[in-house]
Amino acid sequence: MLGIPKFRLLPAILGIGLVGCGNPEITVYQVPKAPQPPAQAAAAPQPAQAAPSAGILWKVPPGWIEKPASGMRLASFEMPTADGKGDCSIITLAGDGGGTLNNLNRWRSQLGLDPIPPSELDSAMSTRTGGFGDYSFFRIVNPEVDEKAFLVSIIHTDRGALFVKLTASRRSIDSLTEPFQALSDSIHIPDE
Amino acid sequence: MMLRSLLRALSHPRVFFFCCIWLIVLLTVGTIAQRDLGLYLAQEKYFSSWFLFVGFLPLPGGRLTMLLTFINLALFHTKKTLWRPKKIGVLITHFGALLLLVGGFLTAYFSSEGTMVINEGETVSFVSSDEVKELVLADQNHPDYDEITAIPEALLKVGSTLTHPNIPGSFEVLEYYRNCRPVPRKNQDSGPYRGLAERFELERIPEAQERQQNRAGIVLKVSGIDEQNDGIYALYERSPMLQTLSDGQRTVALVLRRERTYLPFSLELLDFQQNLHPGTGMAKSYRSIVNLHQGETSRRVVIQMNEPLRLAGRTFFQASFFKGNNTETTVLQVVKNYGRMFPYISSIIMCIGLLIHLVIKVPGLIAKKKSESNA
């Protein structure tokens, strides 16, 4: 070619050829639907489930695993997050459950946040509508605490107050907001 | 003429000398950087890269340096003056070094690492890649199977448009993140936004030290279906919200996930066992007792620390586990590495080459020493 033995080009061609392999492409394949074992079945989207004693129902968000109820907990859930797992519970307390502001400040203190005065309560919460009508939703986060943050819904009913509380890392709390709100919205008394 | 000069320059021993020194520098700097960047980011920046930028100055990365070394060593073998009986040891040693680099290239381009996560009682037949993601359209309308259309991460370049008979309309990739988080949407300028994107947008965040902690995200513009479905969609890994798309004939689920490789066999976790050191809470050993289902046959296999399962070109290591309230889950690290034997083979070849060279050279050196002392 240029008076160069052709085999002297071979190493360079081989070297460049080795690094230039492979073209990505879209692939289509079929995966048989496998029967789900109990653990996965519990995590699959579930129809509304009766609480053991309170006579209320809720819809479990996809991917959340319902655990046995115990003590004051009407329901317990666990869900995988980017950095571990989150925990959510539904509990019921008589009357107003000790008052919204008292409970909010108690949760704030658990995260090292200062309590807020009554005048700031409205700005700390948002109002949503669910099976029991309007309820209060709180997102409680301390930017200096990574391992814990809370989402809380307080639902007032004629039987007492329902507290739906989710605990997860600060990084995971945003991604859990939608399913948490869906769960809170879904809590209701079934039609008889 | 230029080509001849280039080849002559590339075959000079100085190229090998400076490449080796530069590799030592990269190794030192990359090892120190690993403390802050983490293993995989440091590997990507210093050892697997073509170029390394110090400010605006491009320096050769590990991959380019090793390519130059490979070319240099290979050109070395084309020198006619070396193909003599007395140089056979040198040739064999250099060939061994060349083989080491070939093994490195095979590992870099054809190896894969992933994990298999299996709950007790569950059967899994796929490996999830530790590094590579895929965008998947899952058609779950068939009663017996799901039809999966997998778009590899390499095709998810910002600005690219994806079309395929199984893709409703077309997808334009607006944004792609290797690590991101959803934040409440502030910008409502473009649109219309669909699903998660109506209330959230994705914000890029620095990559985590442990790559499994990264959460990839993508923003797509879907066009060509209809007014209800066209729009901007945002997806991110492990999102609790399922995004679906419909073209009027079928509905598919859109998922961004770790790339799955389906295996010609499956593993069913029968039991996970953890042994603790007596009187402590420290783990002594873990083991997974699995049923290996391969075609019509099944057999019981134990995978434990230092005793991996080797099958179908892959090695399954007992990596980790986690315990829930009612169940235990095993995590197996799965490695496919075509180049895994090359370091052993090339080291043996280099040793043989050095020994041969020693045997050839030593008598002459002894004779020369004797004649000098007699003189």
**Between helices B88-110 and B342-374, what is the axis angle to 10°?**
160
Domain chopping of chain A, boundaries: 65-186
Kindly report, residue by residue over A81-132, the tens digit of the pLDDT. Answer: 877 788 899 887 766 666 788 888 888 888 888 888 888 888 889 999 888 8
Q: Can you count the helices (H) and strands (E) in chain A?
A: 5, 10
Kindly report, residue by residue over A18-63, the tens digit of the pLDDT. Answer: 555 557 899 999 988 765 443 333 333 333 333 333 467 888 888 8
Q: Is the confidence at residue A4, as pLDDT, over 70?
A: no
Q: Does B23 contact A at CB distance below 8 Å?
A: no
Q: Would you state the pLDDT for residue B175?
A: 95
Q: In whole angstroms, what is the distance from residue A132 CA to residue B341 CA?
A: 66
Selection from A41, A46, A77, A51 nearest residue A187 by Cα:
A51
Contact call for A28 and B148, based on CB within 8 A: yes
Kindly report, residue by residue over B63-73, the tens digit of the pLDDT. Answer: 999 999 999 98
CATH number for region A65-186: 3.40.1000
CB A78 within 8 A of CB A85: yes
A46, two tokens? 């579930």
Q: Would you state the pLDDT for residue A38?
A: 39
Question: End-to-end distance of chain B based on CA atoms, in angstroms?
Answer: 50
Compute the residue count for chain A: 192
Check residues A176 and B36 and name the one with the higher pLDDT: A176
Q: Is the confidence at residue A189, as pLDDT, over 80?
A: no
Q: Does A94 contact B at CB distance below 8 Å?
A: no
Contact call for B78 and A178, based on CB within 8 A: no
Check residues B312 and A53 and name the one with the higher pLDDT: B312
Q: Is the confidence at residue A10, as pLDDT, over 80?
A: no
Q: Does B63 contact A at CB distance below 8 Å?
A: yes
Contact call for B164 and A26, based on CB within 8 A: yes
Average pLDDT, rounded, for chain B: 87
pLDDT-wise least confident of A45-54, A107-116, B157-166, B213-222: A45-54
Kindly report, residue by residue over B68-111, the tens digit of the pLDDT. Answer: 999 998 888 887 777 888 889 989 999 999 999 999 888 888 88
Return the number of other C-beta atoms located less than 10 Å from residue A166's C-beta. 25
The label of the residue with tokens 């409970």 reads A103
Contact call for B119 and A40, based on CB within 8 A: yes
**Share of residues in chain B with pLDDT > 90 (%):** 44
ipTM: 0.74
Selection from B352, B368, B355, B342 nearest residue B106 by Cα:
B342
**pTM tops 0.80:** no
pLDDT-wise least confident of A1-10, A79-88, B247-256, B301-310: A1-10
